[in-house]
A and B are shown apart, each in its own frame.
Chain A
Amino acid sequence: DTVLTQSPALAVSPGERVTISCRASESVSTLMHWYQQKPGQQPKLLIYKASNLASGVPARFSGSGSGTDFTFTIDPVEADDIATYYCHQSWNSPNTFGAGTKLELK
């Protein structure tokens, strides 16, 4: 299975820029997607196919990358963005997810 390795928990202040990385153990082309999950809630799609903003998602969120290295950026961070962020690849079978990066307030 394709292993997705995410950066560890990050502490941020509102107004800052934060970047979360996701590295795949093999190429996933641009079929990398990003989700936000707040405590007690279901995941919510934010970015699909590496860099496309999902419907209704603020432009503060963005994504880039291809092959094995991907980044997800929030700029600027707002207090409501405190959550866990997951990457997900759908190029190789089976679909796999990263372990998540927990964003915390400084």
Chain B
Amino acid sequence: EVQLVESGGGLVQPGRSLKLSCAASGFTFSNYGMAWVRQTPTKGLEWVASISTGGGNTYYRDSVKGRFTISRDNAKNTQYLQMDSLRSEDTATYYCARWSNNYGVNGGYFDYWGQGVMVTVSS
């Protein structure tokens, strides 16, 4: 059974950092691209970042470029999202999601999702 378990969320002040983790099990982690998707009541679901199977290719939405870093450790079956210079508009539930193919950010779909972790950016 595919399982994705996020951790690391919480309350953080604007301008500070937070690192999310996603532990994967039930499949060969190194064979799949991975992603982070966030959700808010006002903006809905938003793709945030994606990473290729080996970690050599990463992709970001414009609003997080230069502030967020996606990475993965295939030996630990875990992906990460380092979030720096956080803003109030980053407040959301962040989901770890498996990408259906092993390349790029187009052409596939999110076939499994974690339960989500809440990130609140507020002073």
Contact = CB atoms under 8 A, between A and B. Distances in A.
Interface of A is mostly: loop
Interface residues of B, number: 20
Contacts, number: 57
Interface string A57-98: 000000000000000000000000000001010111111111
Contacts of B108: 90
A5 B100 CA distance: 24
Given A42-B95, A42-B114, A92 B106 contact: yes
5 contacts: A33-B110, A42-B113, A42-B115, A45-B109, A86-B44
Interface of B: 44-47, 61-62, 95, 100, 105-116
Given A42-B116, A45-B112, A90-B108, 10 more contacts: A31-B107, A41-B115, A48-B100, A49-B109, A86-B45, A90-B106, A90-B107, A93-B106, A94-B62, A96-B47
Interface of A: 31, 33, 35, 41-45, 48-49, 54, 86, 88, 90-100
